Amino acid sequence: MDLGIRGRRAIVIGGSAGLGYAICQALAAEGVDLIVFARNAQKLASCEETLQAEYGVKVHGCAGDIANESDVDRLANESLSLGGAQILIVNTPRPPSPMRDFLEENDQERWTTGYLQQLHGALLVLRKLAPLMMTSGWGRIVAITSASVKQPMPRHAISTVFRAGVQAALKHLAMEVAEHGVTVNAVAPATVMTPTFATYHNLERRILEVPMKRAGTSQELAATVAFLASEHAGFISGQVIQVDGGATRSFC
């Protein structure tokens, strides 16, 4: 299916590896030009080269930290100087590793890191970039959160607490930008295989806990994101779509 977004430009936060990179590939395959934001400039340069060569789209790397306001301001300016972006993918860094239960999380530094990278960073990106998307009458914002926004998971305390805040901000924003043709949705994964996920302990047990008895692929997640970023998803907003092999036990 042609997603109807050829020629659009997308900003992908955390787009140089893992799920973010898979999302870059899915959008590039639809003819979407990319602005990829991540910290490591060398990794970004290699992404630019590979994505341009494989998909023939324009790719601009912007090196910065999601938690740093001046980096996010620079991202906004660079996107404006390229003519603006109509698609924004908010893919925040992972929580501090290893993940722990709430009463085990006694290290304030880990809470601060989790707050800065997952909530503060996401809010910075949304507050600074969403207003730039309201002028053209068409926009798509998709955030990668976690299945824990619907059902708290063991050992995910930091992630569960801050992603709830991200989810609340997305719902607010969805209502505020809807009349400008901008949709705002979240994709909430669990047990989706990435190079980082593959290093987690108890991997086999975690996979057996998934009703489908397998891990998801980053391509399955990226295809869901690309659909929500597409022309066809224009009347879907304020929603959370789980990509978790049926693991979440909530009704809706």
Q: CB nearer to ligand NAP: give 6 or 201.
A: 201
As a whole number of Å, the end-to-end CA separation of the chain is: 27
Closest of 143, 169, 147 to residue 156, by C-alpha: 147
CA 63 centroid distance within chain: 17
Instruction: Name the minimum Å distance from CB 167 to ligand NAP.
Output: 12
Q: Tell me the residue nearest to ligand NAP as measured from the CB.
A: 18
Among 96, 114, 189, 245, binds ligand NAP (CB under 6 A): 189
Q: What is the 3-state secondary structure (H, E, C) of 153-164?
A: CCCCHHHHHHHH
Q: What sign does the dihedral 10-16-20-25 (CA atoms) show?
A: positive
Q: With CB under 6 A, what is the number of residues at the site for ligand NAP?
A: 29
Considering beta carbons, is residue 36 or 177 the nearer one to ligand NAP?
36
**Residue 176 binding ligand NAP, by CB under 6 A:** no
Can you tell me the distance from the alpha carbon of 219 to that of 18, in angstroms, rounded to the nearest whole number? 10
Nearer to ligand NAP, 1 or 98 (CB): 98
The pair of structure tokens assigned to 153 is 């998971």
Residue number with CB closer to ligand NAP (8 or 120): 120
By CB under 6 A, which span of 50-58, 65-73, 97-105, 129-137 interacts with ligand NAP?
65-73
Contact between 120 and ligand NAP (CB under 6 A)? no
Give the integer Cα–Cα distance in Å for 196 and 19: 10
Residue 146 lies near ligand NAP (rule: CB under 6 A):
yes
Using rule CB under 6 A, residue 142 touches ligand NAP? no
> Is omega for the bond preceding 98 within 30 degrees of 0, making it cis?
yes
* Residues 190 to 249 in contact with ligand NAP, rule: CB under 6 A: 190-192, 194-197
Nearest to 133 by CA among 69, 70, 176, 74: 176
Range 21-50, binding ligand NAP (CB under 6 A): 38-40, 43
Nearer to ligand NAP, 191 or 237 (CB): 191
54 burial level (CB within 10 Å; 0-12, 13-18, 19+) = exposed
Q: What's the min distance (Å) between Cβ of 241 and ligand NAP? A: 13
Q: Which is nearer to ligand NAP, 136 or 213 (CB)?
A: 213
Sign of CA dihedral 170, 23, 3, 89: positive
What are the residues binding ligand NAP (CB under 6 A)? Answer: 14-20, 38-40, 43, 65-67, 91-94, 117, 144, 146, 189-192, 194-197
